[in-house]
Amino acid sequence: MMKKKTIMIFAIALTMAACGTQSTKENAKEMNTLTFTTEQVAFMSTIACNEAKADYTALAEAINGGLDAGLTVSQIKEALSQLYAYTGFPRSLNALGTLQKVLEQRKTEGKTTEEGMDASPLPASYDALKQGTEVQTQLSGRPFNYDFCPAEDYYLKAHLFGDIFARDNLTHADRELITVSALSGLENVMPQLQAHVRGALNMGVTEEQLRSIPVALKATGLQAEALRCEAAIAVAVDGKNDVVCAQSPWPTGQPNTAYAQYFIGNSYLAVLDPASGLCNVSFEPGCRNNWHVHHGAVQMLICVSGRGWYQEWGREAVPLVPGTVIAVPEGVKHWHGAAKDSWMQHLTYHANAQPGNSNEWLEPVTDEQYDTLK
């Protein structure tokens, strides 16, 4: 199916070249369709994210999986080449070198690899600035002019959205899914990530396909990157305001399934020191645990990123921000969790633990109680 679609794109491009036209409505529609299968979306997402993270061991694994799933060499090569515009030449070149090594190894092992088709030749009358302006306008949902830096504005229009996006071995929808996946792997680029989440929808990526990106990232252990992507989707698609995905060097860990029944929302657990019981717990926006009591131990909480709340029964809630340290007295009913609009991470361990110490889980913190916190 993918081969037929690629051939069709190629045929359309040849017709364009022969006629000397810029584009057709048929081609525009085709370029706004994601060409990857569900399995290929998962691998391409992890390929792009690991390229951005410069994790070339994980990248090699993702490339191998993608090739086994039917991604072509042309598609992967094009994705890694495009990403120089978002992650820089060094990462792009190193990633392409990783692809070369993978292909050499596969050849040695006798594994089949589909080369795929290269981009179609552009017509002689092709105008990169004109075409790129049209593509950028569709992606942004409105005309965009970066008057503060005209040179950068030209590079965006003529080169990125013109020269690069004109190459039809990836569709515009393909490229935006790749871009969102890569930006999810970078810290401190949330405005650009949110913009490209919206752009992906404008270029034909469905909401379901978009939400599959963080699912794929989580499946390969890219928890923080997945959370970053989910936070961008929450703002750009779900309309939530000022959702913060705190940048943190602390590991997110795995879904906290063992205690999920005692939480509202999703939390993640990273065991840092099994001997002492030191853990890092990550709460998504709005997530909090039930009221509970620690018997025979003092629980220590150290907030390390984001913003949240700690509250003891009958007392006002206390804000949790990086550096806040709470010693939860033995036998005191309490709860803790994230703010509505921010992820929160805290370290936790037990002090003064007595033999037979235990946790007593009680009723949930109701929306009425939680929603009063500002």
Q: What is the pLDDT of residues 136-165, one digit of tens each?
A: 999 999 999 999 999 999 999 999 999 999
Based on the fold, state whether residues 48 and 102 are members of the same structural domain: yes
Based on the fold, state whether residues 221 and 260 are members of the same structural domain: no
Whether 155 is in a domain gets the answer no
Based on the fold, state whether residues 285 and 338 are members of the same structural domain: yes
Whether 96 is in a domain gets the answer yes
Q: pLDDT tens digit string along 255-293?
A: 899 999 999 999 999 999 999 899 999 998 899 999 999
Based on the fold, state whether residues 265 and 211 are members of the same structural domain: no
Based on the fold, state whether residues 201 and 301 are members of the same structural domain: no
Whether 61 is in a domain gets the answer yes
Whether 160 is in a domain gets the answer no
CA angle 41, 136, 94 (to 5 degrees): 50
Of 185, 209, 236, the domain-final residue: 236
**Total domains, the chain:** 2
- Beta-strand runs (E) in the chain: 254-255, 263-264, 267-273, 278-283, 288-289, 292-295, 298-306, 308-312, 318-320, 325-328, 334-338, 344-351, 358-361
Based on the fold, state whether residues 338 and 222 are members of the same structural domain: no
Based on the fold, state whether residues 275 and 351 are members of the same structural domain: yes
Whether 153 is in a domain gets the answer no
Say how far apart CA 253 and CA 77 lie, in whole Å. 31
- At residue 211, φ and ψ (nearest 5 deg) are -70, -15
Q: pLDDT tens digit string along 269-278?
A: 999 999 989 9
Whether 191 is in a domain gets the answer yes
CATH number of the domain that residue 112 is part of: 1.20.1290.10
Based on the fold, state whether residues 170 and 63 are members of the same structural domain: yes
Whether 244 is in a domain gets the answer no
Whether 150 is in a domain gets the answer no
CATH number of the domain that residue 332 is part of: 2.60.120.10
pTM metric for this prediction? 0.69
* Cα 356–chain centre separation: 42
> How much is the average pLDDT of 297-303?
97
Based on the fold, state whether residues 204 and 259 are members of the same structural domain: no
Say how far apart CA 81 and CA 119 lie, in whole Å. 13
Based on the fold, state whether residues 81 and 50 are members of the same structural domain: yes
Based on the fold, state whether residues 209 and 351 are members of the same structural domain: no
* Confidence band, pLDDT 50/70/90 cuts, at residue 228: confident
Domain range for 178 is 2-126+166-236
